[in-house]
Structure 1
Amino acid sequence: MIIGFIGTGVMGSRMAKRLLEHGYDVHVYNRTKEKVRALVEQGANVEESISSLARNCDIICTCLSMPEDVLEVYGGINGIIENARPGTVCIDLTTVGANTSKILFEKTADRDIAYLDAPVSGGPEGAEAGTLTIMVGGEREIFEKISPLLRVLGGTVEYLGSSGSGSIAKLINQYLVAVHSLAVSEAMVTGAAFGLDSEQLYNILKVSYGDSRILRRHMEQYVLDRNFQPGGAVKYVLKDVRLANQLLQEAGMNNFTGQLAEQAFSVATENGLSDSDMSAVIQPMEEQCGVLVRKKR
């Protein structure tokens, strides 16, 4: 069985590495050749194009940045759908809207190609350790067929239903990530504005009902040390919360906190923080209030 992997950035490279470590024959493609160098050194075979990878592989994993990237990689004239063999299984690990997943499910089915939407949560550290949460939509029979592969990548692998179900669950998760990031930022900036020691305030909150994984992640790994090298970048959370907000509107809601979160991440992007870690959403608020949330020097 040959596994193809398209998109070997921060997350994809770590997932492809785990597949190699577990004995899979992995073929990789990335537009930026430098991003496959380490994987080739670890035993991966590099493909020169998406079309050649599609023709040569039995299972194709994609881990890309944006929905438009996914549509191009699958649907372009040199893409997966035009070149994969009948019976190929495609697993899209990207966070996209449910409509994108459903469109690709239908297009692949027309060519006798299987497609699962299987977005992941857990960040680079989860990809490294194989502890990702993987949320899967599509045909159950296909899920059961390839679940051993997914369990190499994830500690929690859940089948949620028909095509698009995995994407919906992931966007709900990302909605909470964005909203919690906004709430954490507002709370910590307010504390600093009133003269509270940021580290002391954080230590109180993390043992109180205000605790959350996002509070701990942002404060311990990024904000208090003023280190905003991305684990998950602002631009991706902005993309995700926009897609998630569309879900809430489709569900019938008019006013919801995700709208404020989208606005906050949009402001961060406008302030040049697009490629910074998502925790950098706090910086425009700090500037507005004239404070910094940080450890004492």
Structure 2
Amino acid sequence: MTTLALLGTGLLGAAIGHRLLEVGISLKVWNRDPDRCRSLVGSGAQQCSSPADTLLGVDTVITVLRDGPVTADVVQSLGLLQGRTVIPMGTMGISESVSLAQQVSAQGGRYLEAPVLGSRPQAQMGTLLVMAGGDPELFELQRPLLKHLGSDPLRMGDVGTGAAAKLALNQLIASLTHGYSLALRLVQASGLEVERFMEVLRPSALYAPTVDKKLERMLTEHYGDPNFSTSLLRKDLNLFLREADLAGVDASGLEGLARLLQRAEGTELDAGDYSALHALTTISSDTSE
């Protein structure tokens, strides 16, 4: 039985771990908060007390951590990698991924970035969209593993291209959610029934399935039990803005959205589903509850 190391067992990491266990892969798991490994241990994973302890008997290390700096610190704590492959699946900046690839090489390992689009349901079903960046030979070696998580993993190009694709997509999530929230607010203020508006939107070229997925949350203001939180959306949008600046892209039009999301910090909206952005698009909104 193949054994992998999984570092980071938050919402997405735990779902990825359960999927890998279901397809017969043995896991060694670590998380900064040990309690977050509990469900995976109950399903057969072996919990380790430190990242370095996960390396014995494994050739591949998957990380699903909050951001680039955290990932770099945890990977550094692994010590010498002795030819093992490190596959980060969390969102990080292009420059951060390139730097991490250099770090992994210096530690004697191989590197294949593989950020994913999707959340817990897609991870559990093996339908994530996998966007890899790195050596084509290494990608082919790891393709059977990646196919357990997404049926058609794609190599985007060299290291950094996978990170670029993921950041671009997460920016679209933020922009689409914001645009839809503004449209919904104006529709409601005019007295137009939301469902009548949706009857026009759904058959149009402007429609995206996520609109209906988030509609009920926005109308009922139920943002609990998130698959992807407001705080993570804000983090990724700010990361996109930083990388856009490094790439010479004028993304100043997104700065207002970044400031809007900043208003959620320190409130319960921050830990809620990212559709809580809708609670911010009204002048009378109160985010202190």
Calculate the TM-score normalised by the size of structure 2.
0.91
Q: Does 1:275 align with 2:271?
A: yes
Amino acid corresponding to residue 153 of structure 1 in structure 2: L
1:161 maps to 157
Amino acid corresponding to residue 5 of structure 2 in structure 1: G
Q: CA deviation at 1:145?
A: 0.5
Q: CA deviation at 1:182?
A: 0.8
Contact 1:29 1:53 in 2 (8 A): yes
1:294 maps to none
Q: Please list the CA deviations of residues 210-255 of structure 1 after superposition, one character each: whole Å capped at 9, or x if unmatched.
A: 31133222214x2133320212101111111111122333343335
Q: CA deviation at 1:71?
A: 1.8
Aligned partner of residue 155 in structure 1, secondary structure: coil
Aligned partner of residue 24 in structure 2, secondary structure: coil
Distance 1:255 1:127 in 2: 31
**Structure 1: stretches of 5+ with no match in the other structure:** 291-297
- Count residues in correspondence: 284
Amino acid corresponding to residue 227 of structure 1 in structure 2: H
Q: CA deviation at 1:99?
A: 1.2
Amino acid corresponding to residue 223 of structure 2 in structure 1: F
Counterpart selection for 1:192 from 188, 191, 200? 188
Q: Please list the CA deviations of residues 255-295 of structure 1 after superposition, one character each: whole Å capped at 9, or x if unmatched.
A: 55322322222223365421111100110223x157xxxxx
Distance 1:21 1:255, change over 3 A: closer
Task: Flag the structure with higher helix content.
Answer: 1
1:225 maps to 220
Amino acid corresponding to residue 170 of structure 1 in structure 2: K
Amino acid corresponding to residue 43 of structure 2 in structure 1: Q
Calculate the TM-score normalised by the size of structure 1.
0.89
Counterpart selection for 2:142 from 142, 146, 171? 146
Distance 1:103 1:251, change over 3 A: closer
Matches within 5 A, 1:9-28: 9-28=10-29
Q: CA deviation at 1:4?
A: 0.5
Aligned partner of residue 265 in structure 2, secondary structure: helix
Q: CA deviation at 1:56?
A: 4.0
Distance 1:206 1:269 in 2: 33
2:98 maps to 102
Distance 1:119 1:215, change over 3 A: same
**Structure 2: stretches of 5+ with no match in the other structure:** none
Q: Does 1:204 align with 2:219?
A: no
Aligned structure 1 segments of 4 or more residues deviating by more than 3 angstroms: none
Counterpart selection for 2:121 from 119, 125, 128? 125
Distance 1:155 1:100 in 2: 27
Distance 1:203 1:264, change over 3 A: farther
2:33 maps to 32
* Amino-acid identity (%): 28
Amino acid corresponding to residue 242 of structure 1 in structure 2: N
Contact 1:268 1:283 in 2 (8 A): no
Distance 2:276 2:266 in 1: 12
Distance 1:223 1:18 in 2: 30
Distance 2:187 2:264 in 1: 20
Q: Which moved more, 1:239-248 or 1:101-110?
A: 239-248
